[in-house]
């Protein structure tokens, strides 16, 4: 079993205060390593920064004072954001779960205690609360697993193509395949930076 997140996102605490939460997207993307805080899917697979959402961990519809509070924001994919919506277990922003219902801030170390990843990339709940989050955020969707697998395959393909390209023993077809593969991922890299 693997952690659900490859690296735990960490929100900076010295971010300059801004007038609208949407203006924090650049900083959030850096802090969340270009990935959804909840499912760890790269934003590239949802149309890059423009396709990604900003979730209010404690919903803005219930806690308006936190609407521009950076510590309450999560960079996330549309599926997780829409799944979570304004669901919240109680009336206090400070209490994110009651018994088996609610959420764990994905920047918190405790997040890993409730959700994990199988070796095949699928996401699994570890606790009843993890099960609640898993269901609400639709973490069972196949695309969570496929995106995770693709990310790893891309890294392996790029490395392999570079190794073959640098070796002397290759025919024209192999050389063409390597060049095409490296070019392909050069373009993918351009999309990933957006
Ligand atoms: Zn997500």
- Residues 129, 38: one domain? yes
- Residues 121, 153: one domain? no
In the reported structure, the alpha carbon of residue 36 is separated from the centroid of ligand 1 by a whole-number distance in angstroms of 5
Residue 55 has pLDDT above 80, yes or no: yes
In the reported structure, the alpha carbon of residue 143 is separated from the centroid of ligand 1 by a whole-number distance in angstroms of 10
Span 68-93, pLDDT tens digits: 999 999 999 999 999 999 999 999 99
Neighbours of 136 (CB within 10 A): 17
Span 95-144, pLDDT tens digits: 999 999 999 999 999 999 999 999 999 999 999 999 999 999 999 999 99
Question: pTM to 2 decimals?
Answer: 0.92
In the reported structure, the alpha carbon of residue 39 is separated from the centroid of ligand 1 by a whole-number distance in angstroms of 4
Give CA–CA dist 89/158, Å, rounded. 45
Nearest to 152 by CA among 163, 160, 142, 141: 160
- Residues 158, 67: one domain? no
- Residues 73, 47: one domain? yes
Lowest mean pLDDT among 6-20, 116-130, 170-184: 170-184
In the reported structure, the alpha carbon of residue 172 is separated from the centroid of ligand 1 by a whole-number distance in angstroms of 42
> Domain range spanning residue 72?
2-144
In the reported structure, the alpha carbon of residue 153 is separated from the centroid of ligand 1 by a whole-number distance in angstroms of 20
- Residues 56, 139: one domain? yes
Report the domain count for the chain: 2
Q: What pLDDT is recorded for position 20?
A: 96
């Amino acid at each position: 079993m693997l952690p659900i997140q490859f690296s735990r996102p960490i929100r900076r605490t010295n971010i300059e205060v801004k007038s609208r939460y949407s203006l924090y997207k650049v900083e959030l993307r850096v802090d969340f390593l270009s990935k959804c805080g909840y499912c760890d899917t790269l934003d590239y697979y949802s149309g890059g920064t423009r396709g990604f959402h900003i979730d209010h961990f404690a919903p803005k519809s219930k806690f308006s004072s936190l609407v521009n509070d950076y510590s309450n924001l999560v960079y996330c994919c549309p599926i997780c954001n829409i799944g979570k919506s304004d669901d919240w277990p109680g009336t206090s922003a400070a209490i994110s779960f009651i018994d088996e219902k609610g959420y764990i801030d994905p920047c918190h170390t405790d997040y890993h205690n409730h959700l994990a990843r199988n070796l095949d990339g699928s996401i699994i709940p570890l606790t009843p609360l993890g099960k609640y989050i898993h269901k609400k955020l639709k973490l069972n969707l196949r695309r969570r697993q496929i995106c995770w697998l693709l990310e790893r395959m891309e890294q392996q393909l790029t490395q392999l193509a570079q190794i073959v390209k640098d070796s002397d023993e290759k025919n024209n077809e192999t050389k063409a395949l390597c060049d095409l593969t490296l070019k392909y991922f050069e373009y993918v890299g351009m999309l990933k930076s957006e």
